[in-house]
Structure 1
Amino acid sequence: MASRTWTFNGRILGVGTSSGARLVVGIWDTSPLGSFADVMIELGDGHRLLLAPTQEVADFVGGTYVFDETRIEPVEVRCTAEPGSTVLAGSRSTAVCVITASLTLTAALGRRTVLGWALRGIPRSVAASPLLSAVTDPVARVVLRGVRTRGSAGQGRREYYGATDVRAIRSVSARLDGLDLGCLTVVDPPARFGFSSTPRRPSLTEVVTTIVQR
């Protein structure tokens, strides 16, 4: 049987809150499922929740990661920035707002991190290469607790992450089902949706994600 490959281009927002929640927002500009956003949440009690905009997205994400509950609801992402800037441009102040029927989240972005500056020169075509993920994975395991750049996913799939930029998160406000999730904290313990978590330091990472099923 011929292998299948799916490539997702966009950004991943990962934050922790003082209630014990860890939230991971995928903001995908291009993908085999079109342009969309989804939210993965692990609460302090370990309950893992997926918010997906369509059943198609829920089926694909749920087939790759593990959740205790899935909700199908529109996921809107708004990015605000100073004139002439982009979401990951230098030190200009920006914010990412996520709105669903269950969740409202606003994350204020800080400066590009040291890692972000180091990653800026990597072309997306190179970042998407599984070979690069194989090289960076041992480093990521040591430097970024809980982070892997390659690993096994659901349904016999292999997943590869290639980052090209990183910005810090300065603050976050979030409410789930009307309850305040608290203030910004590190992503600790690592989220348990799949083989990898987002970095412990809250961040917005520009990324190419490649999923291969053989």
Structure 2
Amino acid sequence: MLRPNGATERRFRGRILGAGTTSGVRIVVGMWDRSPFGSFTDVFLELADGSSVLLAPDEIVAAYVSGTYRFDTVSVVDVRARRTARGLELDAGPLQATIDVGGISPLGRVLRIVPKPIARDPRWLALIDPVARLVSPGSGTAGSAGNGRREYYGVTGAHDVTAVSGTWAGEPLGTLAPLDPPVAFGFASMPRVPQVVDVETTIREPAV
């Protein structure tokens, strides 16, 4: 979408899952039903030593995402996310994980108060960003991204993540833990309590 000032606006609608593990690996999974690049899943990780990894399904997604967020390593791998009765089965190169998802979280109940068209509006998201950062330290709804881009997270629903198991590079992930410390790929992290959220991400790129 081209805005009147010449800036480009790209929208991604789907779900983001964030969870920590007792091994120290923190996982953020983006499952995008609608995007400028079609439907895809990508994975952000922060490892126990603090290094960050992007697992992307193709070179185009890898280039765009790594131009928006910060990573130490970018890998193009076959990323497969399969919904199950209990949650999600994830197979992404060196990462294999089974993630259980429970009922609507306390955050999800609060989000129901705001009508979805308002909750996705960048003007609203810029207004409430200070409140979001106060309520959930490390998180946010509006901020700066790479290459002069501006990003907005419009969250409309949330469910608890209740369990995680699997391996990273052949080593056990351990069990579920808070997403703590907050991940630092961009201007904001997911909440500390492991959750999967329904979201529309809007990225505005400067005019060229």
TM-score in terms of structure 1 length: 0.91
Residue 154 of structure 2 is matched in structure 1 by 162
Residue 120 of structure 1 is matched in structure 2 by 112
2:89 aligns with one of 97, 104, 110:
97
Equivalent residue of 1:204, what SS? strand
Give the Cα separation in 1 of the matches to 2:17 and 2:33. 14
1:195 aligns with one of 166, 183, 187:
187
Equivalent residue of 2:180, what SS? coil
Residue 42 of structure 2 is matched in structure 1 by 38
Give the Cα separation in 1 of the matches to 2:116 and 2:32. 14
Answering whether residue 147 of structure 2 is matched by residue 143 of structure 1, we say no
Residue 108 of structure 1 is matched in structure 2 by 100
| Deviation for aligned residue 1:124 | 3.9
Answering whether residue 66 of structure 2 is matched by residue 62 of structure 1, we say yes
Residue 84 of structure 1 is matched in structure 2 by none
Give the Cα separation in 2 of the matches to 1:123 and 1:53. 33
* Percent identical: 47
Look up the equivalent residue of 1:79 and give its one-letter code.
Answer: R
- Return 102-111 or 116-125, whichever deviates more: 116-125
Answering whether residue 40 of structure 2 is matched by residue 20 of structure 1, we say no
Equivalences for 1:5-16 in 2 at 5 Å? Answer: 5-16=9-20
Number of residues paired by the alignment? 202
CA offsets per residue over residues 98-135 of structure 1, 9 Å max, x none?
A: 11221111111111012202213544432321111112
Give the Cα separation in 2 of the matches to 1:119 and 1:73. 34
Q: Cα 1:11–1:123, aligned 2, differ >3 Å: closer, same or farther?
A: same
Residue 85 of structure 1 is matched in structure 2 by none
Give the Cα separation in 1 of the matches to 2:115 and 2:89. 27
Equivalent residue of 1:64, what SS? coil
Residue 205 of structure 1 is matched in structure 2 by 197
1:182 aligns with one of 166, 171, 174:
174
Structure 2: stretches of 5+ with no match in the other structure? none
Structure 1: stretches of 5+ with no match in the other structure? 82-93
Moved over 6 A (4+): none
CA contact (8 A) 1:124 1:208 kept: no
CA offsets per residue over residues 82-112 of structure 1, 9 Å max, x none?
A: xxxxxxxxxxxx3111112211111111110
| Deviation for aligned residue 1:64 | 0.3
| Deviation for aligned residue 1:66 | 0.5
Give the Cα separation in 2 of the matches to 1:179 and 1:122. 42
Q: RMSD of the alignment, in Å?
A: 1.2
Give the Cα separation in 1 of the matches to 2:10 and 2:122. 12
Residue 81 of structure 2 is matched in structure 1 by 77
Look up the equivalent residue of 2:61 and give its one-letter code.
Answer: V
CA contact (8 A) 1:12 1:207 kept: yes
CA contact (8 A) 1:121 1:164 kept: no
Look up the equivalent residue of 1:209 and give its one-letter code.
Answer: T
CA offsets per residue over residues 176-207 of structure 1, 9 Å max, x none?
A: 11111211100110001011011000000000
